[in-house]
Amino acid sequence: MNDALLHLLKNPRVWRGSQPGTPDESLRESLRESLRESIQEASRGPAAYPTGYARLDGHLPGGGWPSYALTEILLEHHGMGELKLLMPALARLSNVEEPGPHVNRHASGGDQEAGWIAWIAPPFQPYPPALLQWGINLAHMLVVHSRQGIEALWAAEQALSSGNCAAVLVWSDALDNRTSRRLQLAAEKGQSWAIAFRPLEAATQASAAALRIALTAGEQGTDVRILKSRGGRPVTVSGVIHHYVQDYAE
């Protein structure tokens, strides 16, 4: 373009349909910048899945479970309320009709986020009637029985990177720093949420998980201790999961 034309275009009386109607270059630049940021934000996928427990959400960066990442749940015994803690988020993920409010459908490719929930090497049988009560779409349940070692981690990695699974729950005693990194990468690749259950002693080991929490029995129910969270700080949230009777008998 020659100078005369540029001069003409800068004239405020000239209206151009395809451009933001301001001739101010700096403003336009800032608009572009913010647009670029929001696109980047969107392409990173959902920030977090709300846990369904408001008090816990308040302490988690992004206000929920980290998406497309590895979450570690450390517990002393099975049955501490670890499933109850996950149920609201899993119910939302397993249902196609109801993507979470944070979920950006466009960025993650249509309905991919509302996919399958894979249970790999569960210590007991997940009980479908109870899952149904929690609102899990049973048509999206995948149970994989394998040995609780490297095999379970392999299966978890496959499930995570397949792109079909919205969440992968894995029980394995072979998880360490290196394998947790692999799961983390697989979760990013397959846009999935990895949840690994580990014994409480693993708290001292290093891990690549985006979020590590420990469940301990407290006075008003199960306490959630946040050991590590990306962009958050360690804190103990007491009584997240209430006692059975308090929870439901109103």
107: tokens are: 């960025």
Residues 100-129 that bind other proteins (CB under 8 A): 110-112, 115-116, 122-129
Minimum Å distance from CB 190 to other proteins?
Answer: 10
Minimum Å distance from CB 125 to other proteins?
Answer: 5
Per CB under 8 A, which region of 25-33, 34-42, 90-98, 175-183 contacts other proteins? 90-98
Segment holding 213, helix H or strand E: strand 211-218
Residue 208 interacts with other proteins (CB under 8 A): yes or no: no
CA distances from 108 to 22, 99, 149, 192 (A): 33, 12, 31, 10
Q: How far apart are CA 111 and CA 105, in angstroms?
A: 7
Residue 243 interacts with other proteins (CB under 8 A): yes or no: yes
Q: How far apart are CA 241 and CA 224, in angstroms?
A: 8
Q: Distance of alpha carbon 250 from its chain centroid, rounded? A: 31
Residue 27 interacts with other proteins (CB under 8 A): yes or no: no
Footprint of other proteins on this chain (CB under 8 A)?
52-53, 76-84, 87-88, 91-92, 95-98, 110-112, 115-116, 122-135, 137-146, 151, 154-155, 158-159, 162-165, 217, 221-222, 243-245, 247-250
